[in-house]
Every structure is written in C-alpha cells, then in structure tokens.
Structure 1
Amino acid sequence: MAIVIIRKDDKINSWKEALNLYAPQIPVYGYLEKHPKEDIKMALVWKHPIGSLKDYPNLECIASSGAGVDFLFEDDQLPLHIPITRVVDEFLAKDMSEHVTALIFSQLKNLYHYKVDQFRKIWKPIPYKRIADVTIGIMGLGALGTVLAKDLVRLGFKVQGWSGSAKDIKGVTTFAGSSMQSAFLNSTQFLVCLLPLTNETRGILNAELFEQLPKGAHIINVARGGHLVDNDLLIMLDKGHLSGASLDVYHEEPLQLDHPFWEHPKIHMTPHYASVSDTASVVPQIVENYRRLASGEELLNLVSEDKKY
C-alpha cells in the first residue's frame, strides 16, 4: 500500500520529503520515477496530466493537495468511482483572509491609485474611505469564505455573504440561492468571489451580475479564473460602473503576455499566490486519510460527487 504524487510543477520532491519525514513507514513515489503501480492506493494530486490517474488499478483515494478540486473534473478520464478528498486547512483559510483584507484596505486608502500616480510623478491627494463606509459581500461561504467573513466582522466591517445553501454566521447577513442573489449584489461595494468552480458557477462574474452591483463597486476574485468573463470585466471597468478589480486567478496561468489585464490601470494582479497549501500543515491530513483508508474508516474532507466540491 503506497502513495503516488502526481503534479506538473516542481514541487513533487518537497511533498515527498514532507511525507517521508512525517510518516517514514509509508512508501511514497513521484509519478515520474519507477514505481509499483499495483501498490498505489492513494494519489496525491494537483493539476495532474489528463488521464494519468487511470494507470493505477488498485487506486482507492484521490487526494487533492489543495482546497480546490475543479481541475480533477476537467479530466475526462477521471475514475469517478474513486473517492476524492480535498484540503481543509486553517493556515490556508487564514492566509486567504489576510490577502483579501489587505486588498480591501489598499482600496479604501487608495494605495494602488497612488502607486500609479508615483510612476507618472503626479501629486494629487484624493478622498479615502473608512471601514464604516463600505459593505463587503462574499460569494461562497465555505471554509475559506467563513474565516474571511468572521475576520472582517472582527475588524468592524459590514459583511454579508451569498451561497448556494443557507448559512448562519454570527455578525454576517447571509443570502442563499438565486432568488436572493440580487438583494445581496445591490448592497455590496466590495465583491469577493470564493465560490467553488462548478458548471453552475463558471462565468458567474459577468456583465449581468456586475450591473446589479452599486456603481463604483470593486471586484476581488481569489477563487478560480473560470468564474470571470474577462471581457465583461474590462467593459464594466472602462465604462466606469466598476471602480477596479483585484485578481489572483486567471483562465490561463501564467497569464499570456498580450492579455489586456497586464496594462489596465484599474486592475491589480497577483500570480495565484493568495493562499498556498503548506506541506507541513497539510501532510497530517493526508496521512490520517491514508490510515483511514487502510483501516476501512470513512475518509475526511470528502468531495461531493454531485456538487463537485
């Protein structure tokens, strides 16, 4: 019984070392090295090569090494009968909360605007906003969205959230379902997308949705690039309905060099680094599920086959 790590970046060795350090008794292989495929019971994956999971005849668990699993369902050869797990990690959630909070404060105090003015050698103070002046709306109240909402409430922000099903979070006004989406959007000045990427949420950040936000609203997308219709965002920024956008995720990563986002003065970009799975904090979850797999117990953090998150 062994684990194989399948990912296309340069982090296979770091994950392998972390697993070997934490649980030296477990055989762990990178998928590019020679290994006994019939012994593999768990695959630890992140944006794996399409079709690579079907090579393991005795695979019993597919474990995403991050909170997202949408990349798995893009594999048309995914063995759907095998349970899928994802990461639920307090550090991942806190890192995301800190990143989004920093973006909000930077907008409130016009820091990005002044950075552009600096390059143009423009000295022009402009009015800033305070915490009490704005309402933050979070789309997606899962593990990440809930931590962010609670943190923003503690800072004194007016916070509201929208999700597919009803949620109850102290200090947060919550909306659920399509019938309540407009009411949520109409009173949101900072819109934070933390939704899972599914067939239902793909392209949800579009012109129709943006039109329902108050004039001057700011978009923060830290979920997946597939949520955003890029051209709709550009149009709404250029016509002045949206004041700006902070983006950490894109349809293609790295973002192609000729994409208009790079040079748009109202768009702040970061390279999909708002919140990164830390091997030291995630490995214990992987090992615990490996142990549960061996003993026939229910796995932690199972992904719903219907919801796909």
Structure 2
Amino acid sequence: MGKVLLSVGDIEADDWLRGLSLEHDVVMNVDQQSAQEIKYAVVWKPEHGTLAKLPNLEVIFSVGAGVDHILSDPQLPDVPIVKVVSENLTQHVTEYVVWRVLDHHRQGALYREQQRAGLWSEKPQRPAQEVSVGIMGLGQLGRSAGLALKHLGFRINGWSRTSQQVDGITSYHGDADLTPFLNDTDILVILLPLTPETEGIINYELLSRLRRLPAYPGPVLINAGRGKLQREPDILKALTDGTIQQATLDVFEEEPLPARSPLWGLPNLVVTPHAAGMSDPNHLVPAMLRQMAAYERSGDLGPVIDRTLGY
C-alpha cells in the first residue's frame, strides 16, 4: 500500500499521526530507505525539495485550504495535489465571515467604545437589505459564506478569475468585471486562492474603487484568504485616510504578525491570528483516508488542484 509522509511544520502533529496511523504506516523523519516506500504525503509548508526526494510518491494532500505553500516549491514532483476541504473547515470559515460582516455592519466597534466610555447612545442602523457584500473567490468557502449572508438579507456579489454561477449571488469574473463588482460592494470579503495573478491584488487602488453610500460610514475589508493577497502598507494607508472605514485581517504577509507592525495599533482594524479556518485532523484525516482508499481501489482521487490555475 505504501507509507505516508506526515510533515505539518509548526502544527501540532499528534492527532494527525494518530488518525493516519489507523490505516497506514506513517513516516515523519525520512531516511534513504523510507523515502523509497512513501506513496502519499500529507503536508503543510514542507521544506522545498523534500517531496522531490520521494521517488515513488503518487499523491500529495494539503493540510490547509491553500496550496500555494506546495506550489511554490521549484522542485515539486509532477503528482496530483489534493486540497482536502471538509464540511467542518467550510463551517469554520463561514462562521468567521458571518461574524465579522455582522460585527462591522452592526457597528460593534462603536458600541464597544461607547461601553468603555459609559455612554448610552443608539445610532442609526442601515438594514442588511441595503448593504452589498462582495466576495472575491467563489470556491466552496466563498459560496458557503455568501449563501449564509444571503439568508440574513444582504445583497451578495461574487467575483472570481473565471466564470462561476451560484443561485442567489450576482456573479462577476475576470479583469473586465472587477471594477463593476467593486463599485457595487460595501463590505469586501477576500477568500481567493493565492496565485501569481492574485498576489498583491488587495492594494490601495483596488480599495479606492469600493462603493461609498450616502449616510453610510464607508467601505469595509475582511481578508480570511491568504496573507500575500494583500499589500499591508496600502491597507494601513486606506484605514488611516478614510478610503475604507474598517477592516478585519486574519492573514498577513508575515506570520505571526510582527510586534513592530503598525497594524496592531489601528483602532479601526481587527486582527485575528489566522483563526478563520482551523484544520481539524478529527475531520480532515477521515476524508484523506477515504480518498486514499478510493485511490487504492480505482485510482480515483476526486477533485485535484489545477496547477495552471493554482487552485
């Protein structure tokens, strides 16, 4: 059947190891002998060149939702890459996006500030039906979050690199549709994969194209995708000069976010520590084991990463 390489970087490995070991021999430290026997690799941010040393490797499984940490390896072997997205992970991300959209929409920061000051003052509240949430990235995570917000009454726009059609979501795609999408978006949610085309896409110029409604405080940015999608000096500038009113960032160009970063001190920014979508081995490992078993039976892996697209 072949062995499994488990290499998950700074993630706690015990539960991954325990689950995978139920059906496979698992290797965490590769030597010359075990390198010949490894058929599957379960990885998160593997050191470049590691996978190229496995001559009989047939399938790579990504522990996280993103696969840029694998595709960035210049020595990456030509084998299928499986991005395992469980219902549990999708639920986590959906909860996070709904939480942050509602908190920004219902003026959570303002009311927390008033509480600290002992001030009782109700503010006007625009209904969800008048607010447009734009989601960049209409994969499984984006669709789930969009439909959950749709159920709460928000108008939902979706933008992706290629055409995607989702009932209840107004879809835009490609460079030609990006400006119309942004011009009709009040709260911008980022759930894009990181590819050469999307790296740095969240910059000052893009943020300046978001809609500004009369009697509405201003646009909001939420990034729960990948840190390198954004240009942090541009976000700092936009939050400081009023181009956007508020933001939530769960991901950063450098993680952990350095203590020296000026982002920590912005009163109109919420920082969370890459916590939107937790890779829970209790849910992801069974899915991986099912895919490995199906591959052993019939060679079927289900959906795999398109390397030309990066997702």
TM-score (norm 2): 0.92
1:185 aligns with 2:182: yes
Counterpart Cα distance in 2 of 1:142 and 1:70: 16
What residue number does 2:9 align with?
Answer: 8
Pairwise mapping of residues 60-75 of structure 1 onto structure 2 (< 5 A)?
60-75=58-73
| Correspondence 1:172 to 2:174 | no
Measured against aligned partners, the alpha-carbon deviations of 1:121-158 in whole angstroms (never above 9, x if no partner) come to 66654433321231100001001001111111111111
| Cα offset, 1:292, TM superposition | 3.5
- 1:242 corresponds in structure 2 to 244
- Within a 5 Å distance, the mapping from 1:122-271 to structure 2 comes to 125-215=122-212, 216-271=218-273
Conserved 8 A contact 2:8-2:63: no
Helix, strand or coil: the match of 2:158? strand
**Relative to structure 1, is the Cα distance of residues 46 and 126 closer, same or farther in structure 2, using a 3 angstrom cutoff?**
same
Residue 248 (structure 1) shift: 0.3
Q: Secondary structure at the match of 1:149?
A: helix
Instruction: State the secondary structure of the residue aligned to 2:98.
Output: helix
Partner of 2:215: none
Relative distance call for 1:258 and 1:116 in structure 2 (3 A) is: farther
CA distance in 1: counterparts of 2:118 and 2:45, whole angstroms: 43
Q: Which amino acid aligns with 1:66?
A: G
Bigger mean CA offset, 125-134 vs 6-15: 125-134
For residue 53 of structure 2, the aligned residue among 52, 55, 76 is 55
Which runs of no fewer than 5 residues in structure 1 stay unpaired? none
Shift of 1:178: 0.9
- Deviations for 1:59-112, whole angstroms, at most 9, x for unmatched residues? 111110122101112222222x11111112112111111111111111122112
Matched residue SS, 1:71: helix
Instruction: Report the 3-state secondary structure (helix = DSSP H, G, I; strand = E; otherwise coil) of the residue aligned with 1:37.
Output: helix
Between 119-128 and 287-296, the greater mean CA deviation after superposition: 119-128
Partners of 1:39 and 1:139 lie apart in 2 by 41
Deviates more, 1:276-285 or 1:115-124: 115-124
Secondary structure at the residue paired with 1:242?
coil
* Identical-pair percentage: 35
Once structures 1 and 2 are overlaid, which stretch shifts more, 113-122 or 169-178? Answer: 113-122
What is residue 294 of structure 1 aligned with on the other side? 296
Q: Which residue of 2 aligns with 1:112?
A: 109
Decide whether aligned partners of structure 1 residues 285 and 33 sit closer, same or farther in structure 2, where only a CA change above 3 A counts: farther
Task: Show CA shifts across 1:165-189 (max 9, x none).
Answer: 2222111111111111111100100
1: CA distance, partners of 2:154 / 2:41:
41
Match of 1:31 in 2: 29
3-state SS of 2:68 partner: coil
Number of matched pairs: 305
Distance in 2, matches of 1:230 and 1:126, equals 31
The answer as to whether partners of 1:202 and 1:227 remain within 8 angstroms in 2 is yes
Q: State the alpha-carbon separation in 2 of the partners of residues 35 and 44 from structure 1.
A: 19
Q: In the alignment, is the contact (CA less than 8 A) between 2:15 and 2:282 conserved in 1?
A: no
Once residues 13 and 91 of structure 1 are traced to their aligned partners in structure 2, the CA distance between those partners, rounded to angstroms, is 19
1-10 or 219-228: bigger deviation:
1-10
Deviation at 1:269, TM superposition (A): 0.7
TM-score in terms of structure 1 length: 0.93
Q: Name the SS for the 2:56 alignment partner.
A: coil
- Residues 1:35 and 1:94: Cα distance change in structure 2 (over 3 Å): farther
Which residue does 1:90 correspond to in 2? 87
- The answer on 1:305 being equivalent to 2:303 is no
**Quick one: structure 1 residues 191 and 35, their matched pair in 2 at CA, closer, same or farther if it must change by over 3 Å?**
farther
Cα distance in 1 between the residues matched to 2:123 and 2:260: 32
